[in-house]
Amino acid sequence: MTGLNRKDILGLQDMSPEEISLILETAQSHKEILSRPVKKVPILRGKSICTLFYENSTRTRTSFELAAKIMSADTTSISVAGSSINKGESFKDTLLTLEAMGVDLFVIRHGASGSPHFAARTVKSHIINAGDGMHEHPTQGLLDMLTILENKGKFVGQKVLIVGDIMHSRVVRSNLWGLSKMGAEVRICGPKTLLPAEVDKLPVKVFTDLDEAIDGVDVVNVLRIQLERMNRGFFPSVSEYASMFGVNKNRLLKAKSDVLVMHPGPMNRGVEITPDVADGDFAVITDQVTNGVAVRMALLYLLLGGAGNVASA
């Protein structure tokens, strides 16, 4: 496969294993640029990229902006605060206005699931989903996969445990689709109250006991407790959650001896992960962040600059 035959990146559920492989290979080749003394290539000169974020972000937004600047694209950044969204301008009108200014590609984060899909139907510009509600966060899924591939060399047969607030997590939805398509065994674990409805229809093994779930796994991906999305008590207290579902040194002893510890960030240290594990020898959390820039460079290249994208707008 030489190019992506699609206009938008909305999720990993509808992506083929060949497309995922192409993105990860492209990211691996682009990563070398990040270690150069002068991190600048002219590939996307003349292209205009807008990050349109209706929710907070540090990693996703900054890494998209850095990726675009490294590839010489022009970038604009729109948030709710400081824009006419705050005066009541609709999502549709915001998109049409910015497209009329010449934006070639929108990176969109929105609290409502499906917003990037609506955007993809509304404008001819390319759309990349940077996290939509409780649905998907495909670039996080891809950067997590790249980190696993770099460290383990393959996906087939890898046992990947994702533990935490499964219900509210768009990270888990992208990871489970991507990893299962590539042949990994995906386990999810969390309190019953934080498992989504119809979890039995997903391509995962479901656990509610972390000590059982962590047994023999190659990777532990720890999710943040998303207190901001919870409108009622899903567990008795934060300290009880930490004692039952927190990843600590003792629990890690049950995983493989070369286990990888991952976290998409931001972390609640002392809640879902202890500081010694977050900063310990098995953690690849900052490597995930670096891989985020590489994956986003790859996607911008494949949608805007790469040969063979026959679905360019």
Q: Which residues bind ligand CP (CB under 6 A)?
A: 57-60, 131, 140, 264-266
Q: Nearest distance from residue 313's CB to ligand CP, in Å?
A: 25
Using the CB atoms, write b or e for 186-199: b if 16+ within 10 Å. Answer: bbbbbbeebbbeee
Smallest distance from ligand CP to CB 263, Å:
9
We find the least distance from the C-beta atom of residue 117 to ligand CP, in angstroms, to be: 19
Distance of alpha carbon 9 from alpha carbon 18, whole angstroms? 14
CB of 45 to ligand CP, least distance (A): 26
Residue pair 278/267 in contact (Cβ under 8 Å)? The answer is yes
Closest to ligand CP by CB, 6 vs 263, is 263
**Min. distance of Cβ 218 from ligand CP in angstroms?**
21
In the bound state with ligand CP, the residue whose beta carbon lies nearer, of 78 and 99, is 78
Q: How far is residue 104's CA from residue 34's CA, in Å, rounded to a whole number?
A: 24
CA-to-CA distance for 239 and 272, rounded, in angstroms?
10
Rg (CA), the chain: 19
- Please name which of 23, 107, 37, 105 lies closest in space to residue 291, comparing C-alpha atoms: 23
Strands 159-163 and 185-189: parallel
Shortest spacing between CB 46 and ligand CP, in angstroms: 27
Within 8 A by CB and 6+ apart from 179, the residues are 141, 145, 148, 155, 158, 160, 186
